Structure 1
Amino acid sequence: MSLKNTLTIWFGKLMVKTLHLLGKDAGNAPGLVLWELNKDCLKAFKVDCPIIAVTGTNGKTSVTNYLNHIFESTGKKIITNKQGNNLDTGITSLLLNNCDMKGRVKADYLVLEIDESHVPVIFSKMKLETLVLLNFFRDQLDRNGEVETLILKVKKFLETYEGNVVLNADDPNVSRLGLANLNNKNIYYFSVDRYAGATDKPYEVGEGKFCPKCGTELVYDYYQYSHVGKFKCPKCGFGDVKPYITAKNVKLDVPSVEFEGEEYKISHNSIYYVYNLAAVYTAANLYNFDKKVLHETFEKFEVNNGRLEKFSVDGSELLVNLAKNPVGANMTLRVMNEHKGEKELLFVLNDNLADGHDVSWIWDINFSIFNDVSRVVTSGTRAYDIAIRIKCSGYDPDKIVVKPDLDYAMIEFFKNKGFKYAIANYTAIQPTRAAIKRYNEKVKGGQG
């Protein structure tokens, strides 16, 4: 190891130790400092185990956590960024927290969630074995720019990459990346057969309307959600791929799904969740996992970090989901609409730096499909913006209550008992979960 790399590791480890002694979080700051001092700091680490990375606009935290659980279930030592520090600085901090003074990282596997824009940055300096690509949607425009910019960044990386690539065959924005390096024989597509809720026309605004090869408008047999579905270019044939794994017989009323002739019971009745599991199954299949582990994981494992998370609060059943773009919000609204009978909605919207200050994406949410929503409570720094957006969709303004403070929002939200749904964007999701738990504790303690 060079003197520069040695000093990089020593200084980084000192920062981590100091932060731990002070009771501070060492999940991002040490990496931030190291990148300022040494742009090649990732090369200072010695990682000999396989690295599996998961990226995409929606679902990467859930898929990463599922893969981590599957690997750990077999007794493997896994290093993963469960808390979602998925930028170059976060990955650097993760390695600092798990290496020795010589920069050696001891594990059987690294399973990492990676921000789409940072895939080329990180893996130009570390050897990647498997990359899982879930989807590409418009997301946080003032941070990430247009979708096409992100896709081209990942495409450039894949042009010289020869490791495993797991791709969503049903998203044209992702499927096109299988053409980035025709010499790579390790391309594995996953797909989901048409389910009962699929539509012949798009349900919402999508991104992948035109063929990336010839520019012709794509023809869809059906849409699962947004621009994800069964498509093909009528001119050049783009989209006609043979999936390595296909999720079949999707039954959201059970809920269950079939992989390779076996039925799997699953814990959530959402098509978006099925796509996540298809990605997990495909990646796990590359590592020859016992199907018993997959059965148990798909049926019982819960991420419980605001991704389709269930709560029981004071006689009410609540489902909480993160949404940082129109597709994520529409996902929750569709799940909500599939529940028959009256329900209430809490929408928490922030505009902090990590969210992106531009919240114009809320105008692409399809609120017009509200079914049996008896009341809406809005909260967060942009509580009034989301309230106005919902009002403009035609929803009765007398049924909208604005409570920017989360604790007051909880009091209002749980005033009536019943089925409830909560949508929160990136910096709002953890405060929302915390506020729910605080309210629940007060009620249980007889103080509510």
Structure 2
Amino acid sequence: MRYLVPVLAGRLVRAVARLRGGGSAYPGQTVLKLAPDFLTHVSSQFERGVVFVLGSNGKSTTTMMLTETLRAHGLKVFTNPTGANLPQGIASAFLREVTPFGRVRDDIGVIEVDEAFAVELTKSLHPSTVLMLNVQVDQLYRFFETERVGTMMTDTAAEATVAVVTNRDDQHLGPYQAVGRQTVTRFGASPEVVSASPNGLQNANDFSREADASLSAETEVTALTGTGATITVSGTPIDVRLPARGLHYAVDAAAALQTASVVLGHPVDPNAVRRAFESMKPAYGRGERMSLGADEAEFIMFKNAASLQMNLDALPQGVEQVMLAIDEGTPDISWIYDIDFSHLDHVDVLAGAKAWQLALRLEHEGIPVHVIEEDISKAIRLMRALPSSKDNTKHFVTNYEQMMLARRILGHPDLEKTA
């Protein structure tokens, strides 16, 4: 009974927030203020424990892949699908699932977690398994250096009660060793697959140690063709359809399948995996497609240099129509001078508050820009006005904030409204 009032109050705030156009954190803030132990109470009910998903990039996609794979194996899974990975966002996600008395009906929780809050969240969510995806150059204005991010993740992994799954190919995370009775397993991509990618995996170097070539991976990307990949799990190759193009999505899939194997206690069933991936839709803004009349808008969202580079590398050759958009949601964009833009031969529209900075970078690269329009609404109208391309696709390469605005302009509500 003690959770009845907090849960109902949080749901009331959620209903009001949705009417006003969003605000997924407010319901969680409300319930945590009224019941500070709400997260502990709810998460302790999962029979198969809680999985934390950590990483500079790929958390939302991997969380979705892992969730759908476990569901295909018959488990009932709770997750935070909006990507709200701070304590109040996670509490908001729980509010959608629990009974008015704070009870859960799921077998396991798969939760995307912000690295900066992850250690603190272990005190309330007590993860049984921690999955570490990658350490990449990200939000230096917030984290200052990549080594600090790596330490945040490994410190969190040390709190896992059962298992840790980590990235063999990441110098910061691959060497992680078990603490206590933990098991440690790894995922990765074969050297042949990595070498075929123009700019590799984009994981940050750890200059404090030598790369450990002796590390092995129980699950590995062994082939990649467009939106198809072969993931070899404990020696068994499984062909999957990825929700979006790129080596990074294939590596995310390997991470998800290895973690699912750990949770299940045995290697994943290939038929269940194929079913899960065949019906899988792209995560919010990550290869997501929306109608533009006779054409489609493909949203390709980036957060940092690594995600932009890998998304550019995955674009089709000779892409006909592309908009790049970046605004103040990415405070320091000096890293654009490290990006290889050679995959593009032009940009139709540059948008966002930092469009002119991006224009200067592209001029250095010798890439023509047809129009610069800071206002995203006007930029979308300019893209709409272009004649249809051969593939009937207009590629919108945007940072997170511009993606959110563009989706609303095209009439698509936030996930908090659709969940």
Q: Distance in 2 between matches of 1:20 and 1:114?
A: 24
What's 1:159 paired with? 158
2:361 alignment partner AA: R
What's the % identity of the aligned pairs?
Answer: 21
Task: Choose from 363, 368, 383 the match for 2:355.
Answer: 383
Inter-CA distance 42–9: structure 2 relative to 1 (3 Å threshold): farther
1:40-92 per-residue CA deviation (whole Å, 9 max, x = no partner) reads 55335463212122111111111111222233345543221111111111112
1:342-368 per-residue CA deviation (whole Å, 9 max, x = no partner) reads 5232111121xxx3522333333222x
Q: How many residues align?
A: 398
Q: Distance in 2 between matches of 1:348 and 1:144?
A: 24
- Compute the displacement of 1:435 (Å): 3.5
Inter-CA distance 200–84: structure 2 relative to 1 (3 Å threshold): closer
Q: Distance in 2 between matches of 1:280 and 1:344?
A: 33
User: Contact between 1:68 and 1:78, CA under 8 Å: does it hold in 2?
Assistant: yes
Residue 132 of structure 1 pairs with residue 104 of structure 2: no
1:321-343 per-residue CA deviation (whole Å, 9 max, x = no partner) reads 1101011111121112xx23352
User: Contact between 2:167 and 2:187, CA under 8 Å: does it hold in 1?
Assistant: yes
2:405 alignment partner AA: P
1:85 alignment partner AA: A
Task: Choose from 381, 385, 397 the match for 1:411.
Answer: 381
When structure 1 is superposed on structure 2, of 290-299 and 94-103 the one drifting more is: 94-103
Q: Distance in 1 between matches of 2:201 and 2:189?
A: 19
1:32 alignment partner AA: Q
Residue 261 of structure 1 pairs with residue 224 of structure 2: no
What's 1:363 paired with? 337
User: Contact between 2:26 and 2:88, CA under 8 Å: does it hold in 1?
Assistant: yes
User: Contact between 1:47 and 1:104, CA under 8 Å: does it hold in 2?
Assistant: no
Residue 29 of structure 1 pairs with residue 18 of structure 2: no
Q: State the structure with bigger RCO (CA 8 A, min sep 6), 1 or 2.
A: 2
Question: TM-score scaled to structure 1, two decimals?
Answer: 0.79
**For 1:4-403, what aligned pairs fall within 5 Å after superposition?**
6=2, 10-11=5-6, 13-20=8-15, 23=19, 25=22, 27-33=24-30, 42-45=39-42, 47-49=44-46, 50-176=49-175, 178-179=176-177, 181-195=178-192, 198=195, 207-210=204-207, 212=208, 215=209, 218=210, 232=211, 238-248=212-222, 250-252=223-225, 255-259=228-232, 260-267=235-242, 268-286=244-262, 287=264, 288=266, 289-311=268-290, 313-316=292-295, 318-336=297-315, 339-351=316-328, 355-367=329-341, 369-371=342-344, 373-396=345-368, 399-403=369-373
User: Contact between 1:141 and 1:356, CA under 8 Å: does it hold in 2?
Assistant: no
Q: Distance in 1 between matches of 2:113 and 2:303?
A: 16
2:241 alignment partner AA: I
1:341 alignment partner AA: G
Q: Distance in 2 between matches of 1:375 and 1:325?
A: 19
* Partner SS for 1:343: coil
User: Contact between 2:228 and 2:240, CA under 8 Å: does it hold in 1?
Assistant: yes
2:397 alignment partner AA: I
2:380 alignment partner AA: M
Q: Distance in 2 between matches of 1:255 and 1:201?
A: 18
Q: Distance in 2 between matches of 1:196 and 1:149?
A: 29
Inter-CA distance 431–200: structure 2 relative to 1 (3 Å threshold): closer
* Partner SS for 2:134: coil
Inter-CA distance 20–208: structure 2 relative to 1 (3 Å threshold): same
Inter-CA distance 253–107: structure 2 relative to 1 (3 Å threshold): closer
2:52 alignment partner AA: A
1:426 alignment partner AA: Y
1:384 alignment partner AA: W
1:190-216 per-residue CA deviation (whole Å, 9 max, x = no partner) reads 121134562699669762142x4xx4x
1:427 alignment partner AA: E
2:331 alignment partner AA: H
Inter-CA distance 409–160: structure 2 relative to 1 (3 Å threshold): closer
1:107-151 per-residue CA deviation (whole Å, 9 max, x = no partner) reads 222121111222111112222122111111121222333222222
Q: Distance in 2 between matches of 1:279 and 1:118?
A: 21
2:377 alignment partner AA: D
Q: Distance in 1 between matches of 2:252 and 2:292?
A: 28
Unaligned stretches of 5+ residues in structure 2? 413-419
1:277 alignment partner AA: A
User: Contact between 2:53 and 2:132, CA under 8 Å: does it hold in 1?
Assistant: yes
User: Contact between 1:387 and 1:400, CA under 8 Å: does it hold in 2?
Assistant: no
User: Contact between 2:4 and 2:102, CA under 8 Å: does it hold in 1?
Assistant: yes
- Compute the displacement of 1:171 (Å): 1.2
Q: Distance in 1 between matches of 2:148 and 2:296?
A: 41
When structure 1 is superposed on structure 2, of 193-202 and 262-271 the one drifting more is: 193-202
Unaligned stretches of 5+ residues in structure 1? 219-231, 233-237, 439-448
1:292 alignment partner AA: N
Question: TM-score scaled to structure 2, two decimals?
Answer: 0.84
Inter-CA distance 185–169: structure 2 relative to 1 (3 Å threshold): same
* Partner SS for 2:174: helix
1:138 alignment partner AA: V
1:405 alignment partner AA: D
C-alpha root-mean-square deviation of aligned residues, in Å?
Answer: 3.0
1:14 alignment partner AA: A
